[in-house]
Amino acid sequence: MAFFIETLIGGLMAGMLYSLVALGFVLIFKASGVFNFAQGALVLFAALAMARFAEWLPAWFGIESLALANVLAFLITIAIMFVAALLIERLVLRYLVNQEGATLLMATLGIAYFLEGFGQTVFGSDIYKIDVGMPKDPVLILENVFEGGILINKEDFIAAVIAATLVTLLTLFFQKTATGRALRAVADDHQAAQSIGIPLNRIWVIVWCVAGVVALVAGIIWGSKLGVQFSLATVALRALPVVILGGLTSVPGAIIGGLIIGVGEKLSEVYLGPSIGGGIEIWFAYVLALVFLLFRPQGLFGEKIIDRV
Amino acid sequence: MIYRENGQFKTSYAADQQIFPIRQDRIAILALLIFAGVGVPLFADEYLFRAILIPFLILSLAALGVNLLVGYCGQITLGAGAFMAVGAYAAYNFLIRVDGMPMLIAVLLGGVVAALVGIVFGVPSLRVRGLYLAVATLAAQFFWDWAFLRIRWFTNYSSSGSVSVAELDFFGWRIETPVEKYLLCLGLLILFALVAKNLTRGAIGRQWMAIRDMDVAAEVIGIRPMYAKLSAFAVSSFYLGVAGALWGFVHLGSWEPAAFSIDRSFQLLFMVIIGGLGSIMGSFFGAAFIVVLPIFLNQFLPWLGGLVGVTISTAAVSHAEFMIFGALIIFFLIVEPHGLARLWSTGKEKLRLWPFPH
């Protein structure tokens, strides 16, 4: 029982991290109908920038404190992500309005290739580490309930808390601020939003910025777990089943989908893995999402698909 | 002035419905085929065959398969590489497990197995649509990546996980030199391109296009979506399977599952989108572009660096390749979202009227 709960909690926390990447997809798809394959590249790019600036700044300016260097690097990286969002809108998306979904998807793949090449040219292609001072040691909880207690990785726990906070902040931003309302209006209906005076181009820059910040947070968390390296870009592929499971247009869907996939992956790896061979979690998530889709083709929380001739 | 169909009257339905109704087109295609079949083998050197021509022919075949599914039937797939892998490994297993199996039959059987697998993975398309389906097809990609890596039976329990085909035997004719390999691929490609062209002109192709344009409306006018979608998946996977088997047997010789990774799937989708969705011709343009571009960049960048007196490291070159490749993709999508095939037909339209503007 204790082992089961331990696996479950591990899955939930891994799921929280998937949700974080999935959020980036959902935000952009909602606001502009672009299926953003570049989200993984954004995560890699942001993490690379963060890791390198945290390393360079102390060397350039003689900053002693680790915290200060990290905060400065964080701010600089946010600024870089803003510029990237602006450039992506100005140079790419602006010209591809109203194209087919597949064309836009390919365009974001182009952006992904470019960012991967550019990031590694500027910031180098070795493995870097992000050290934001997260505790690594595991703790035992609930020792009096179960025999031996439940082992929890503190780092995962903090990451999950950060992810939850970010999601709450984003929800508040979407529900309470004027910009958030404008974003939701655009998501509902581009033309209607435009006709009441919401500037589409600016909205797109804003969502890409938000997606960039989400990518940065995801990049810091994943980066401090796995190290900042090229494989970080494939994190996006792990998050895709989450997106389609939760529904492409739903923020709560991304969270719940993430938790389902996280738990499903861990449980399948532990209980199913030994009988059919290891490493199944990569495709198991997709199959799990596919089974859900067969019953609800729009995902768990997606908008209902209505067909008209 | 020379490209004009004035005076070419059609006196029978057969003449009206032929693939190339304009005489100049027929002559040009014939000349191209003769050049490809006779001229190229005479002049090309081994490097050209190995690095450009054979990959181009095989990937064109794969791009044709993807185009049938994505361009004609409108079902976006990101799992094309998986079906190539299925074809390659199925053909390999037929070849080593069945005594006296001819190579060509094994390749075709690989295609058949890929078609069956394609039907299975096409079933979700009956419920799931659009981008949801695109992501769902990744399930095929990751599942088969995993299967060929972990299930040892597929790789005949080879210790390194890679499999190889020692010799290619085409009904008693040993295929060894690059020229022979090239001719084998060329023959198969011409055959399959002709079949694809005729499929898309016939009833089944029209059903696919109806499903692509609007599946509900197509269903209303009496097209069976299940039959149309699954047949598109089957035919597309057959092409991909044959291409995969050729890629393994003829181009690589020995290969690992990584040869058919998700990057291959993306590459194939790039080919059909840059070449032109829903165009047989476009598949060839796209394949040529995607095959030649990295080779060109690989040669050109160090040369450019040498010109300005900077030696560029291989790592920098590969990063720059990524960047330029990405930027060019975006550029082409912006300039001509309908692909190179549209540019080609615009050019032909212009040529018809030349030297007059209208």
**pLDDT score of B351 more than 90:** no
What are the angstrom distances between the C-alpha of A257 and each of A301, B32, B220, B316? 9, 53, 35, 39
A289 chain-B contacts, CB cut-off 8 A: 135-136, 139
A287: containing domain: 2-295
Cα–Cα dist B121/B115, whole Å = 10
pLDDT grade for A148, boundaries at 50, 70 and 90: low
Q: Is residue A304 part of a domain?
A: no
Question: Cβ A102–B76 below 8 Å, yes or no?
Answer: yes
**Beta pairing partners, B174:** B169
CA-based nearest distance B325→chain A, Å: 7
At A210, which CATH number? 1.10.3470
**pLDDT score of B199 more than 90:** yes
Q: What is the pLDDT of residue A145?
A: 64
Q: Which long-range contacts (CB under 8 A, 24 or more apart) does B187-196 make?
A: B188/B61, B188/B242, B188/B246, B189/B57, B189/B58, B189/B60, B189/B61, B190/B33, B192/B61, B192/B64, B192/B239, B192/B242, B193/B60, B193/B61, B193/B64, B193/B280, B196/B64, B196/B68, B196/B239, B196/B280
| DSSP conformation letters of B270-286 | HHHHHH-TT-HHHHHHH
| DSSP conformation letters of A87-139 | HHHHHTGGGGTT--HHHHHHHHHHHHHHHHHHHHHHH-SS-B---------EE
- Cβ atoms of residues A32 and A205 within 8 Å: no
Question: Cβ B329–A113 below 8 Å, yes or no?
Answer: yes
A109 chain-B contacts, CB cut-off 8 A: 266, 270, 326, 329
Q: What is the pLDDT of residue A294?
A: 84
Q: Is residue A305 part of a domain?
A: no
Q: Is residue A165 part of a domain?
A: yes
pLDDT grade for A301, boundaries at 50, 70 and 90: confident
**Beta pairing partners, A138:** A153
Judged by DSSP in three states, B3 sits in: coil
What is the percent of chain B with per-residue pLDDT over 70, rounded to a whole number?
Answer: 100
Nearest to A21 by CA among A279, A291, A235: A235
**pLDDT score of A150 more than 80:** no
Query: Could you give the count of Cα atoms lying within 13 Å of B200 in the half-sphere of its Cβ?
Result: 23
Q: Is residue A300 part of a domain?
A: no
Cross-chain CB nearest to B326 (options A99, A114, A297): A114
**pLDDT score of B347 more than 80:** yes
DSSP assigned state of B12? S
Nearest to A34 by CA among A171, A170, A185, A187: A187
Question: Cβ A111–B139 below 8 Å, yes or no?
Answer: no
In this structure, the dihedral spanned by the alpha carbons of residues B245, B249, B250 and B256, taken in order and rounded to 10 degrees, is 90
**In angstroms, how far is CA B43 from the centroid of its own chain?**
25
Judged by DSSP in three states, B201 sits in: helix
What is the percent of chain B with per-residue pLDDT over 90, rounded to a whole number?
Answer: 41
Cα–Cα dist A109/A41, whole Å = 9
Nearest to B76 by CA among B84, B63, B66: B66
**Beta pairing partners, A139:** A152
Cα–Cα dist B50/A111, whole Å = 31
Q: What is the pLDDT of residue B187?
A: 93
**pLDDT score of B191 more than 90:** yes
- Comparing A99 with B60, which gets the higher pLDDT? B60
Judged by DSSP in three states, A228 sits in: strand
Q: Is residue A87 part of a domain?
A: yes
| DSSP conformation letters of B229-273 | HHHHHHHHHHHHHHHHHHIIIIIISEE-GGGGSHHHHHHHHHHHH
pLDDT grade for A160, boundaries at 50, 70 and 90: confident
What is the percent of chain A with per-residue pLDDT over 90, rounded to a whole number?
Answer: 8
DSSP assigned state of A140? E
- The average pLDDT across A192-215 equals 89
CA-based nearest distance A274→chain B, Å: 13
Cross-chain CB nearest to A294 (options B127, B138, B329): B127
Q: Is residue A307 part of a domain?
A: no
- Comparing B331 with B239, which gets the higher pLDDT? B239
Cis omega (within 30 of 0) on the bond before B355? yes
**pLDDT score of B118 more than 90:** yes
Cross-chain CB nearest to B136 (options A121, A125, A290): A290
- Comparing B16 with B167, which gets the higher pLDDT? B16
Question: Cβ A106–B270 below 8 Å, yes or no?
Answer: yes
Cross-chain CB nearest to A286 (options B138, B322, B329): B138
> For A23-51, what is each residue's pLDDT tens digit?
888 888 887 778 888 888 999 999 999 88
Question: Cβ B132–A121 below 8 Å, yes or no?
Answer: no
Average pLDDT, chain A: 83
Cross-chain CB nearest to B128 (options A102, A116, A293): A293
Instruction: Count the neighbouring beta carbons within 10 Å of the beta carbon of residue A182.
Output: 20
> For B85-106, what is each residue's pLDDT tens digit?
999 999 999 998 888 888 899 9
When divided into structural domains, chain A yields a total of 1
Cα–Cα dist B57/B291, whole Å = 10
pLDDT grade for B314, boundaries at 50, 70 and 90: confident
**pLDDT score of B167 more than 80:** no
A102 chain-B contacts, CB cut-off 8 A: 70, 76, 134, 269, 273, 277
- Cβ atoms of residues A297 and B130 within 8 Å: no
Q: Is residue A303 part of a domain?
A: no
- The average pLDDT across B137-160 equals 87
- The average pLDDT across B244-260 equals 91
pLDDT grade for A142, boundaries at 50, 70 and 90: low
- Comparing A136 with A235, which gets the higher pLDDT? A235
Q: What is the pLDDT of residue A264?
A: 86
Residues 6+ apart with CB under 8 A from B60: B189, B193, B283, B284, B287, B288
Residues 6+ apart with CB under 8 A from A61: none
- Angle formed at CA A160 by CA A156 and CA A162, multiple of 5 degrees: 115
Question: Cβ A283–B146 below 8 Å, yes or no?
Answer: yes
Residues 6+ apart with CB under 8 A from B298: B317, B321
**pLDDT score of A135 more than 70:** no
Q: What is the pLDDT of residue B33?
A: 93
Question: Cβ A107–B216 below 8 Å, yes or no?
Answer: no
Q: Which residue out of A92, A108, A248, A286 would a mutagenesis test of the B interface target, given it has the greatest number of B Cβ atoms within 10 Å? A: A286
User: Per the structure block, which two tokens stand in for A100?
Assistant: 């087919």
Q: What is the pLDDT of residue B205?
A: 95
Cα–Cα dist B105/B37, whole Å = 23
Average pLDDT, chain B: 89
pLDDT grade for A267, boundaries at 50, 70 and 90: confident
B321 chain-A contacts, CB cut-off 8 A: 117
**Beta pairing partners, A304:** none
- Cβ atoms of residues B207 and B200 within 8 Å: no
Q: What is the pLDDT of residue B202?
A: 92
Least confident of A54-58, B168-172, B278-282: B168-172
pLDDT grade for B67, boundaries at 50, 70 and 90: very high
Q: What is the pLDDT of residue B242?
A: 96
Q: Is residue A58 part of a domain?
A: yes
